[in-house]
Structure 1
Amino acid sequence: MITTDLMHAQAVGALVQSLPTPVRLRPVAYVGERMLIDGRLATGPDTDGTFPEQVGQAIVARFVGSTSADLALVLADPNSLDAAAGPQTSLVSRADVVRPALESAATVFGVGVLGDSTIEDAAALFADAETTVYELTDGITVSGWFALRMRANGSSNGVSRPSADLSGGKIGRINNVEMTMTVEIGRTKMAVRDVLSLEPGAVIELDRSAGAPADVLLNGRLIAHGEIVVVDQDYAVRITRILDIHEGA
């Protein structure tokens, strides 16, 4: 059985293996008191003062699956990522550059989906007592920090939501009920005469622009948004956002 500490170690180990840094970084578990003062992250009296204040520029991604987690990466010199992005830096963001590293870390959690990588304030995540933080060092200086917080399924941003016991009770009676999941990339309305005139090669314009997320419907009800991908020559959908009840209504 894989413990949480081992899973954390494997995740950060996979991360540093894929980070586009000039030298291979080594993760070291951060020990010390973390606190929020007026909404900003500060180090406690027992720390060495090296904890980042620039967590407002953290690259954050959230993994949802059998094991769910919040991940955040901060580099002491984020400008170092611009070289890895290539000359067209306006087309490739820093979050895009470290995306493969975050995906490598997320593989440790098993089956699931890693949400979009965004640059946002991660002070609360770094300060959370349930978050494990690693310093990323080359052996001399600290070049970055990686925060990892496991969370129970059905929770969002560390806030747990009550969930039903699916293994027994009344709801257990419908565990094996099959439901139809549909992925919809767009819709259009056509007159009957236009449908009858369709021939091979005809193009039907949909009500959605290229690159827009697809809708994921369960028994006709909108539950999520996703993007179309190809897996082993088969089409699939990668879930990018789970909708709340009122959003899917």
Structure 2
Amino acid sequence: MTSAPTLHTGAVDALARLLPADGPLEPLPWPVTNGEIPTSGMTTLTVDYLGAVSAELALSLPTATEAAIRAAGGSSSVSAADVLRPALEAAAETLGSGVLGDVAQDDSTALFTDPQSSVFRISEPGRTEPFAWFAIRIDQAASRPSSGGTDISAHKMGRIHDVEMALSVVIGRTRMTVANVLGLEPGDVVDLDRSAGAPADILLNGRLIAHGEVVVVDQEYAVRLTKILDSAETVG
């Protein structure tokens, strides 16, 4: 089983790559004994992850960062939780297969000050103020090694029987800067990374599970599954 420090580092690296910032971000381990742990005056998002490796995650945002993130969402009605969920999903997916709960704005003092947590100060090069703080605590009681993939008992699955799962169909992707996204106007064309007629990706809570083709049923769009991926093919 991968060691906890390695899992923590992989999670924060994946998170930092998807945070909406003007440039690359640098995560720095920040032991609880260092002090300066953000416990008040900031917006903090928390979320639980249940799977092969279960964990609690928290992302704490200074006021300036939250304002920039809301602006990146393109609308005042878009919450910071909605904008940041993909980054938190990327962090959680490094722990292995599982289900990410609802991202909530909540007090995370206990998580950031727990010696069992790994805390990271995420900074933008050239700036003294932190862009964000990230904390992750692996639930050792719920996380057990498995010799044959994920082993989640029926009792554990009962905890998430009423959790809504989002099924998405992706016909292509592209990478754009925040400035380019905010500059989009009606009529603009965005190039995608695949050709017309290529299979669409079917994602469950952001995780690739199948390929398919877009069809029309009763004048509405639908997707016909052409290939269900096994666990090894869904990684990443």
Q: TM-score range by the shorter chain?
A: 0.5 to 0.7
**1:17-75 CA distances to partner (integer Å, 9 max, x unpaired)?**
00001222100000242xxxxxxxxxxxx53xx33233762111110001000010012
1:89/1:31 CA distance change after superposition, 3 Å: same
Name the SS of the counterpart of 1:226 in structure 2: coil
**CA distance in 1: counterparts of 2:110 and 2:42, whole angstroms:** 10
Q: Determine the structure 2 residue equivalent to 1:107.
A: 93
**1:100-134 CA distances to partner (integer Å, 9 max, x unpaired)?**
10011011111100111111111111111111100
> Which of residues 156, 164, 167 in structure 2 aligns to 1:229?
167
1:84/1:134 CA distance change after superposition, 3 Å: same
Find out whether 1:148 has 2:136 as its counterpart. yes
Find out whether 1:123 has 2:61 as its counterpart. no
**CA distance in 1: counterparts of 2:95 and 2:7, whole angstroms:** 8
**CA distance in 1: counterparts of 2:124 and 2:163, whole angstroms:** 40
**CA distance in 2: counterparts of 1:111 and 1:102, whole angstroms:** 14
Q: Determine the structure 2 residue equivalent to 1:84.
A: 72
Deviation, 1:223, is 4.3
| RMSD after superposition | 3.1
Deviation, 1:79, is 1.1
Q: Judge conservation of contact 1:135–1:146 (CA < 8 Å) in 2.
A: yes
Q: Judge conservation of contact 1:27–1:135 (CA < 8 Å) in 2.
A: yes
Q: Judge conservation of contact 1:134–1:147 (CA < 8 Å) in 2.
A: yes
**1:84-104 CA distances to partner (integer Å, 9 max, x unpaired)?**
110x321x2100101110011
What are the residue-to-residue correspondences of 1:167-246 with 2, within 5 Å?
Answer: 223-227=161-165, 229-230=167-168, 231=202, 232=210, 233=212
Runs of 4+ in 1 over 6 A off after TM superposition: none
Q: Judge conservation of contact 2:32–2:112 (CA < 8 Å) in 1.
A: no
> Which amino acid in structure 1 is aligned with residue 70 of structure 2?
D
Q: Judge conservation of contact 1:28–1:135 (CA < 8 Å) in 2.
A: yes
Deviation, 1:3, is 1.2
Give identity over the alignment, percent.
33
TM-score (norm 1): 0.56
User: Which ranges of structure 2 fall in alignment gaps of 5 or more residues?
Assistant: 144-150, 169-201, 203-209, 213-224, 226-236
Q: Determine the structure 1 residue equivalent to 2:8.
A: 8
Q: Determine the structure 2 residue equivalent to 1:62.
A: 48
Q: Judge conservation of contact 1:56–1:123 (CA < 8 Å) in 2.
A: no
Q: Determine the structure 1 residue equivalent to 2:219.
A: none
Deviation, 1:152, is 3.1
Deviation, 1:83, is 1.1
Name the SS of the counterpart of 1:125 in structure 2: helix
Report the count of equivalent residues.
160
**CA distance in 2: counterparts of 1:125 and 1:227, whole angstroms:** 26
**CA distance in 2: counterparts of 1:72 and 1:11, whole angstroms:** 12
Find out whether 1:134 has 2:120 as its counterpart. yes
Name the SS of the counterpart of 2:163 in structure 1: strand
Larger Rg: 1
**CA distance in 1: counterparts of 2:140 and 2:39, whole angstroms:** 28
TM-score (norm 2): 0.59
Name the SS of the counterpart of 2:38 in structure 1: coil
Name the SS of the counterpart of 1:225 in structure 2: coil
Q: Judge conservation of contact 2:53–2:142 (CA < 8 Å) in 1.
A: no
Q: Determine the structure 1 residue equivalent to 2:191.
A: none
> Which amino acid in structure 2 is aligned with residue 74 of structure 1?
S
User: Which ranges of structure 1 fall in alignment gaps of 5 or more residues?
Assistant: 34-45, 156-174, 180-216, 235-249
